[in-house]
A and B are shown apart, each in its own frame.
Chain A
Amino acid sequence: MLIKYFATFRELTKENSLVLNAEPANIAELLELLSDRYGTPFRKAVFEDGELSSLMILLVNGRNVRITGGLATPVNPTDEVSVFPMVAGG
């Protein structure tokens, strides 16, 4: 599974991307794995009271997990996951 980080998540993780050699079943398991890897600041950025943080945009193969099932969204080893802070522009 390929994880791509953007904007402030690059500062948090000190990397632009990660090839994950584990097989989490869903977004919740994935974010737990990543939080263990990167520590508390990362965990705080992705979880908000045990739910998906509202300050983060998480895409699985370009689809926002907020519309595909949130933390329960299933993930596969071939997926590409993009992690953004809430961003905008125009």
Chain B
Amino acid sequence: MSKMLMIYPNKCTGCRNCELACSFEHGGTFRPGATRVHTFTWEREGFAVPLMCQQCDDAACVNVCPTGAMHHGPAGSNLVELNPDLCIGCKLCVIACPFGSARYDSVTKSIAKCDTCAGAPQCVAMCPNAALEFVEDAEQTRSRKQVVADKFKTIFEEVN
């Protein structure tokens, strides 16, 4: 069974621990250009949301890649993977991704895209607010449904 990254903007405080964890995991340093996850913050409204690769099934980055470097994972995986050995740095994936989640890192001269840290995403591990979860696809909406279910329970308890 494959997993997916779920984002809960209502829990995000805008602390950017996810970005730091990502940069550190992929290079051992703290560098904004190295991170694959980005948090957007609206200061006036006090709102923030982290964004990263959505691992699309019909992935624009895969479709445009001329060398096959950007490819779908093996059967059973729902990940989009990058083989750096095949990457020629043409940046077509960067241009094609509608989410802006494939980036060219000019320091390492490579494409920076979420690789879920080989199945143990550090952004999730380091998020102090559970605003990011890495969950089985069958369970992806369980916690959201749980919130609704809890409300129903409360209402029915009050009615009875």
A–B contact with Cβ pairs below 8 Å: the answer is no
Instruction: List B residues at the A interface (Cβ < 8 Å).
Output: none
Instruction: List A residues at the B interface (Cβ < 8 Å).
Output: none
